[in-house]
Amino acid sequence: MLAVPRGPDTNDKERAITFRADETEPAGVRLRRAWPMMAAGVLLVLIAAGAIAGALAWRWAFHDLPELPTRAEALWDVRMEPSVTVLADDGAVLGVRGPLYGRRVTLEEMPPHLPQAFLAIEDRRFFEHDGVDRRGLMRAFWVNLRAGRTVQGGSTLTMQLVKNLVLTPERSLRRKIQEIRLAFALERVLSKQEILELYLNRVYLGEQAYGVEAAARRYFNTTASELSLQESALLAALPKAPTRLAPTENMEAALERARRVLSAMLDEGFIDPIAYLTAASIPAELAEGLIVPEEAQGWGHVFDAAHAEARRILGDESVAPDLVVITTIDPDLQRAAQNALNTVLDEQGEARRAGEGALTALAPDGAVRAMVGGRDYRESQFNRAIQARRQPGSAFKPIVFAAAFEAGMSPATTFEDRAIDIEGWSPGNFGGGFRGRITLADALKRSINTVAAQAGMRAGLANVTAMAGRLGVATPLNPVPAVTLGSGEVRLLELTGAYAVFARDGRRIEPYLVREIRSARGELIWQTPDPDQGEAVISVEHARWMSTLLQSVIVDGTGTRARIPGHRAAGKTGTSQNSRDAWFVGYTAHLTAGVWVGNDDDTPMNGVTGGQLPAEIWRRFMIEAHQGVRAAPLSAPEPRRRSERDERLAAYYASLSERFESMLPGSGG
């Protein structure tokens, strides 16, 4: 059978047709059909790249972002550098080491115009935004773009606070992003009132002053609660450029910006036109005698002494990092003391070869009202008022005579002023010569060495040195014969305190310089106990005997140059061997003051005695210190002025009386 050829299979035809159709399909159609998968792939790549870029950007912006404290109270202590501020008794700043932080001041304590001044010039929409003023940022961006440089920052008060508390001063886009993020976070932690209060207490206002309280004291010698509108406007002008606009350096520029602050306050309705015109026409003025830390002559010694006393009181481990030490110093008396010392030494020091000096002044309660440790703190930080130990010479004699009184002697007791020999020691009198029989009263007035030596020996040297300790001389003294003439070394503040015992009828009160110690936030750390009447270390009678004798020194003795018109005064001169030291220590009813003059290298001066330069310095200071002070009598009787003939007659009759008493039964004579 013949085979008949079979036609192509239907399925084969279809496959052929399909194949030919695939080969001839347009590329566009194929691309459209593949696009969803390609788009999905690209999207995945972009998402991955975006995630990576975002992560990198996030790390770039926030990898070193400081942590913001979550507790509101903790924010007050963030980034507070160690500092010590020393204040005068009236609150005036005497010195600052490190930043000056004022005590924490609440919004309620501030006058309304103070926070309003800062809001008007720094952040008008503070109560409307959430930490970031978007309109302000856009405006600042546009202004900077047009200027080609950074002209505006667009920072809100919240952003400024974040910058001050936790960020670095770096000015960059990254820092601005961090600022924004932390500002949002801060607004979630604190209320608007808390943010404003914290800002005003921590904002930097130049001259190392942080916060409105510190700046108020620095520039105006007042408190934040007492700031006037003009003063508030001036402070609000400073955050923009606190160094360039500091009133102590550029008052004209600071006042110009303060006028802009007042104008902004007027625009915001914080003040009316009358208040604006008044404040603009009568600008703020800095306080007189404004003290710049570490530069003002004369205050550095007080600062060092107060800081040292605060550390002694609290102990090194207990001292807070932000101490505020309130002293007993009266700024007016301190200036008067420094001026008196420098003026006299400038006028006469070179000719008399007297290079240095010191002065201390005590109130009746023992408070140190003035302390001058030297002519110029910048030249020498050595405090000669409390650190130098020098021979007081005859200024030590009141201590010797106080011991003599306790040993049974009196002002009328007589001694023979003559050449004497005590264990090989033969003291002479200043200027030579002898006066014969003389009373203790006249011997002190004339500063007779031979009588003081005899009285001290009769009283007992151990009793003399013990008396010095009881009166407040803490420096150890050797009980040798020469100690009766002041050969032992003492400190000026100690000797001044000893004289104050005579002024207080025999009661001793330790001199003190520190009244209070607080933290920068105003927390009381330590307070001096309430002053009492002091401890009675000698009898009232003996103290008044001495006070009358010391008055006679100024009336007609070796200290006549120390007379103060209108005021009764008592005091004693002192000169060590070869005029290496010269002293005058004395008191009125209001003040006890001591002056020392000499050279740090212990070289002799040119014949200087205590009745010369020291008495002149003392007089000038005390006259200034008693301006406007009502005269008050001393508790001791006033001495009767006598001629040398009267003194000789008094000594003669006193000696007759002593001889008569020695002849009485039981006298042992």
Find the CATH number of the domain harbouring 144: 1.10.3810.10
190 vs 253, which has greater pLDDT? 253
- Report the b/e string of 39-70 with b at 16+ CB within 10 A: eeeeeeeeeeeeeeeeeeeeeebeeeeeebbe
Do 373 and 506 fall into the same domain?
A: yes
Do 502 and 364 fall into the same domain?
A: yes
Do 569 and 500 fall into the same domain?
A: yes
pLDDT for the residue 104 = 87
Query: Has residue 2 got a pLDDT over 50?
Result: no
Rounded-to-integer distance, Cα 100 and Cα 86, Å: 10
292 vs 187, which has greater pLDDT? 187
Tokens of 351: 């000719």
Q: How far is CA 1 from the centre of its chain?
A: 135
Do 90 and 130 fall into the same domain?
A: no
Write down which residue in 281, 307, 341 finishes a domain.
Answer: 281
Query: Has residue 294 got a pLDDT over 50?
Result: no
The pLDDT confidence band at residue 163, using thresholds 50, 70 and 90, is confident
| 131 within a domain of the structure (yes/no) | yes
Intra-chain end-to-end CA distance of the chain, in Å: 190
The CA distances from residue 475 to 63, 385, 470, 574, 602, in Å, are: 61, 14, 12, 18, 19
pLDDT for the residue 69 = 61
User: Of 134-143, 177-186, 187-196, which one has max mean pLDDT?
Assistant: 187-196
45 vs 436, which has greater pLDDT? 436
Find the CATH number of the domain harbouring 502: 3.40.710.10
Model pLDDT for residues 472-491, shown as the tens digit of each residue: 999 999 999 999 999 999 99
Looking at 167-171, 214-218, 328-332, which range is the least confident one?
Answer: 167-171
User: Which residues span the domain enclosing 474?
Assistant: 393-489+639-669
| 544 within a domain of the structure (yes/no) | no
Q: Are strands 414-417 and 209-210 parallel, antiparallel or unpaired?
A: unpaired
Do 218 and 138 fall into the same domain?
A: yes
The pLDDT confidence band at residue 266, using thresholds 50, 70 and 90, is very high
Model pLDDT for residues 442-457, shown as the tens digit of each residue: 999 999 999 999 999 9
| 214 within a domain of the structure (yes/no) | yes
Write down which residue in 281, 306, 333 finishes a domain.
Answer: 281
Model pLDDT for residues 76-131, shown as the tens digit of each residue: 777 777 788 899 998 888 888 888 888 889 999 999 999 999 999 988 988 888 76
pLDDT for the residue 626 = 97
pLDDT for the residue 176 = 65
Number of structural domains in the chain? 3
| 40 within a domain of the structure (yes/no) | no
| 418 within a domain of the structure (yes/no) | yes
Do 136 and 227 fall into the same domain?
A: yes
Do 105 and 205 fall into the same domain?
A: yes
Do 224 and 259 fall into the same domain?
A: yes
574 CB-side CA count, 13 A: 35
Do 103 and 243 fall into the same domain?
A: yes
Rounded-to-integer distance, Cα 4 and Cα 481, Å: 163
| 65 within a domain of the structure (yes/no) | no
Rounded-to-integer distance, Cα 94 and Cα 326, Å: 10
Do 425 and 508 fall into the same domain?
A: no
pLDDT for the residue 50 = 67
The pLDDT confidence band at residue 520, using thresholds 50, 70 and 90, is confident
Write down which residue in 217, 246, 281 finishes a domain.
Answer: 281
Do 150 and 256 fall into the same domain?
A: yes
Query: Has residue 332 got a pLDDT over 90?
Result: yes
| 508 within a domain of the structure (yes/no) | yes
| 304 within a domain of the structure (yes/no) | yes
Do 343 and 377 fall into the same domain?
A: yes
Residue matched to tokens 């609000």: 236
The pLDDT confidence band at residue 157, using thresholds 50, 70 and 90, is confident
Asked if residues 492 and 384 have their Cβ atoms less than 8 Å apart, the reply is yes
Average pLDDT, the chain: 84
Rounded to an integer, the average pLDDT of 17-41 is 60
Query: Has residue 72 got a pLDDT over 70?
Result: no
Query: Has residue 143 got a pLDDT over 60?
Result: no
pLDDT for the residue 370 = 97
